[in-house]
A and B are shown apart, each in its own frame.
Chain A
């Protein structure tokens, strides 16, 4: 297994367009997380899945954001009608169940909205 992979690594889009990011977790990991990181800040939790079920979504997450994890494998994060404030690094992580287990992070997708 090569770890958590994210695609694309970089995305530039015009304001108002929709974008979709993909995350492939480590195969045996049943938990998958999405975080957003802006410049000079720590990652901020967006949502997480256990297998295919989306169990928690941040209250800060706009209705323009949606995530799926069909069949409990890869996940997609879609942002509709992008705004300049959506510009950030979007990080995906996966782990086994348990609060003490290590989360493995992908390299992230950097989104720039112009």
Chain B
């Protein structure tokens, strides 16, 4: 079965500092991986996705993630945090085994940005 683990339920950074949110996955088939962001009382918005093309994926709002098969990781980074980046971030894997495309989410990481 596929699964996702996000290390750290809460990350706090200063404005302008590097953002690093960790995600490790488990999958018996080559995965499709996603990062979503959720603002309070809102739905989820896609930041970026990996679908077996380039291993370094660039997304919206300056975020990027690198797929590392050897480490089964898909960590999300941003060189310089902005106050508006404060939100909940979810890593997800697409359930390809059932061909349905449903997403299996990690438990989320709340990002706080200090001025």
Contact = CB atoms under 8 A, between A and B. Distances in A.
B32 A99 contact: yes
Contacts of A4: 43
Contact of A48 (B36, B92, B94, B102): B102
Contacts of A48: 100-102
Contacts, number: 71
A20 B51 CA distance: 35
A42 B107 contact: yes
A85 interface: no
B48 to A, nearest CB: 10
A105 B42 CA distance: 9
Interface residues of A, number: 30
B101 A95 contact: yes
B110 to A, nearest CB: 9
Size range of the interface on B?
Answer: 20 to 34
Contacts of B99: 99
Interface string A85-104: 00000010101011111111
A25 interface: no
Contacts of B17: none
Interface string B13-47: 00000000000000000001010100001111110
List the 4 closest A-B pairs by CB distance, nearest first. Answer: A42-B105, A105-B43, A100-B51, A99-B94
Interface of B: 9, 32, 34, 36, 41-46, 49, 51, 90, 92, 94-96, 98-108
